[in-house]
Chains A and B, each alone.
Chain A
Amino acid sequence: MITFMNNSDSEEEPCNERTSLMSAESPPVPSYQDGLQASEAGEVQAHRKRRAGSSRSPNNIAGGEMPGSGVPVRESAPENEEEELTLKYGAKHVIMLFVPVTLCMIVVVATIKSVRFYTEKNGQLIYTPFSEDTPSVGQRLLNSVLNTIIMISVIIVMTVFLVLLYKYRCYKFIHGWLILSSLMLLFLFTYIYLGEVLKTYNVAMDYPTLFLVIWNFGAVGMICIHWKGPLQLQQAYLIMISALMALVFIKYLPEWSAWVILGAISIYDLMAVLCPKGPLRMLVETAQERNEPIFPALIYSSAMMWTVGMAKPDTAARGSSQQTWDTAEDGRERHRSPSHADSQMSETRSPVPTRPITSLEELEEEERGVKLGLGDFIFYSVLVGKAAATASGDWNTTLACFVAILIGLCLTLLLLAVFKKALPALPISITFGLIFYFSTDNLVRPFMDTLASHQLYI
């Protein structure tokens, strides 16, 4: 893993007239390369890695990570042009995030609505030890608040632990941890999920077939996530593991605790990313000091950068393209790893290694992608899944939460483009989601039910 990270240094910024035609900037991979100037075009990109010696505005440098956020645009000379391009690219990047978030939510909601297992109460995680089976409302509220405090403390402790590990360069430990987490997600949780789905639809499967299926799924997943693989397969796997993780949370978090935890985690996110002493911010700054990519926790990337033919040896190009895929994501287990904090960081994939260019005439479109932390996927899906599971069988609530989350994401990206500094993506979406969940469930549902029973239309 470490070698992959170092390989990135061999990255070269392709300079060619095509790049300059497409956008004013040809941003290099900031952390991978030193002394590369990125002239920015109005691409919405969050460069979380600092460009060595670049005259970038401090916001991008400092703020590289925001939970699930797109990327701020860099300011550069032709600002108007850039800003228009910003919006143009901005809209595209927003959609590039909408699609995976929607897919993840669809998977979670479909599972919740069809597989009974994930809505049955079967105990709780050790992180939420207090039971909510108490008769009085006050006691239940107290228990859920205590559960939240414990959960958030666990998360804070793990994040701080991660930051310390990173600070003291214990990369092997971190990578080992991540691999273990993704192993558990890809094999154990998938096995349980598949088992429950088969039970629901009453499909018989023998153990050899099951073994074959799970083994292939898991092995390919490990390779895609931790090493190399086609981008779309990687994205699909990340969506799958986010959905699995969200399902685990939906099953094992008691009702009231889940809502309080969602609220608390968006506040935590806000503080961790924006406060000067926040763990996430410290992580970012440490990575920038070292001019390294912030170690690849679960990050979903929507595209990779291709460049047009340049005089670059194929091996180097290949190395970098490996890097691209490699740094994309590491499997990680949410409730075990502190990198949950990282998962909330989103960054754009700045000049990522290029594909191996075989001929100079090969013209490929330069595309920059947006990165979104998997933690954001997970918590968005937890919100929508909980809405689907507990909202009295009502689809309107689920739909309302879904739209609210998408709008929150959109607003976050907009704020990003406006303020040009790292912003956490959870708070706005989760706030909207919570508001719409409670109001739709309690206010809109009776109204719509009454209208439907009289067949009235508004």
Chain B
Amino acid sequence: MTLAVFFGCTFIAFGPAFGLFLFTIARDPLRIIILIAGAFFWLVSLLLSSLIWFIAVKASDPRDERLQKGLLIFGVMFSVLLQEAFRFLYYKLLRKAIEGLVALSEDGCSPISIQQMAYVAGVGFGLMSGAFSMINLLADALGPGTVGIHGDSQLYFLTSAFMTMVLIFLHTFWGILFFHGCEHRRWWEIAAVVVMHLTVSGSSFCNPLYVGSLVPSYMLMAAAAAWAYLLSGGSAQNLRRFLLCLRSGASPQPGS
């Protein structure tokens, strides 16, 4: 255990997100603020859903296993719905902020577009969600111990790290999809995001049967990635040009 597991799991879970942060968000102060505000909104949604779950648990019989399990499922689903509700609220807030920025700017366009905000908000949600899932695990991984010595899965840390990574990515893409749906009034996109989120959270009930939770989640992530890419103006052609290092609009040339 200890350092190797700690660093391994940290980089698996947060490496891509950290890369995204470093290359796309860290330079622009406005984006950092939107990121942190997104994290805050996720936190508030978690707080409210924990409150509901806590009240429900305290009001119920602690010895009834099935009831507790049912309450947990309810808690998870309610939390997912609340997160999406707060994503919508955050969208509303950012809309107002954009209107303010547009009104204040000289040339009538805001320094940041709603699509960029959607992306940053998604990353904010994802980072906070991932951090809350993973940080305590990482702190424990640093200390002595043996994973799964009582008969649980030995892959606990590793699968948690992978699950966290996929969740961070998913939140990013969901942010883009959700905001796009809100912008263009396509409610089915919003519904798709909610359903996807419920599916991913629901699939985690299969744990420790990791093939039932990780595989669908990664597939959903790929689908969401492709969808978000298309919605953001990407296309197969763009991708081909990018991969072949072609200049846009020019005939194929070596290098760039």
Given that A94-B33, A403-B39, A447-B50 are known contacts, is A80 also in contact with B106, CB under 8 Å in the complex? yes
Which residues of B are found within 8 Å of A141, using beta-carbon distances? none
Interface segment, A244-252, A280-288, A436-444? A436-444
- Whether B33 pairs with A444 at a CB distance below 8 angstroms is no
Which residues of B are found within 8 Å of A393, using beta-carbon distances? 139
Give chain A interface residues in 123-174, CB to chain B under 8 Å. Answer: none
Interface segment, B16-24, B176-184, B203-211? B203-211
Which residues of B are found within 8 Å of A205, using beta-carbon distances? none
Name which residue of chain A comes closest to B138, CB basis. Answer: A395
Q: How far is the CB of A43 from chain B (nearest CB, A)?
A: 14
Name which residue of chain A comes closest to B78, CB basis. Answer: A458
Given that A406-B36, A456-B76, A457-B133 are known contacts, is A91 also in contact with B43, CB under 8 Å in the complex? no
Contact mask A379-404 → B, CB, 8 Å, 1/0?
00000000000000111100110011
Q: How large is the interface on B (under 10, 10 to 19, 20 to 34, 35 or more residues)?
A: 35 or more
Q: How far is the CB of A295 from chain B (nearest CB, A)?
A: 31
- Whether B40 pairs with A407 at a CB distance below 8 angstroms is yes
Interface segment, A11-19, A81-89, A195-203, A356-364? A81-89
- Whether A399 pairs with B50 at a CB distance below 8 angstroms is no
Which residues of A are found within 8 Å of B201, using beta-carbon distances? 456-458
Q: Does B135 contact A (CB under 8 A)?
A: yes
Given that A81-B106, A407-B36, A455-B159 are known contacts, is A443 also in contact with B50, CB under 8 Å in the complex? yes
- Whether B136 pairs with A454 at a CB distance below 8 angstroms is no
Which residues of B are found within 8 Å of A400, using beta-carbon distances? 43
Interface segment, B124-132, B225-233, B247-255? B124-132
- Whether B29 pairs with A91 at a CB distance below 8 angstroms is yes
Q: Does B190 contact A (CB under 8 A)?
A: no
Q: Does A223 contact B (CB under 8 A)?
A: no
Given that A403-B43, A404-B40, A439-B47 are known contacts, is A450 also in contact with B72, CB under 8 Å in the complex? yes
Q: How far is the CB of A234 from chain B (nearest CB, A)?
A: 22
30 residue pairs from A and B, CB less than 8 Å apart? A81-B106, A84-B106, A87-B101, A87-B104, A91-B29, A399-B131, A399-B132, A403-B36, A403-B39, A404-B40, A407-B36, A407-B37, A410-B37, A439-B50, A443-B47, A443-B51, A444-B47, A446-B54, A447-B53, A448-B133, A452-B133, A454-B207, A455-B160, A455-B163, A456-B205, A457-B133, A457-B163, A457-B200, A458-B46, A458-B201
The 4 lowest CB-CB distance pairs between A and B, nearest first, are A84-B104, A91-B29, A455-B207, A95-B29
Which residues of B are found within 8 Å of A454, using beta-carbon distances? 72, 205, 207
- Whether A410 pairs with B36 at a CB distance below 8 angstroms is yes
Q: Does A451 contact B (CB under 8 A)?
A: yes
Q: How far is the CB of B23 from chain A (nearest CB, A)?
A: 17
- Whether A457 pairs with B204 at a CB distance below 8 angstroms is yes
Name which residue of chain B comes closest to A440, CB basis. Answer: B47
Contact mask A28-62 → B, CB, 8 Å, 1/0?
00000000000000000000000000000000000
Q: State in angstroms the CA–CA spacing of A454 and B152 once bound together.
A: 10
Q: How far is the CB of B46 from chain A (nearest CB, A)?
A: 6
Which residues of B are found within 8 Å of A399, using beta-carbon distances? 131-132, 135
Q: State in angstroms the CA–CA spacing of A88 and B20 once bound together.
A: 23
Q: How far is the CB of B204 from chain A (nearest CB, A)?
A: 4
Which residues of A are found within 8 Å of B135, using beta-carbon distances? 395-396, 399
Q: Does A177 contact B (CB under 8 A)?
A: no
Q: Does B224 contact A (CB under 8 A)?
A: no
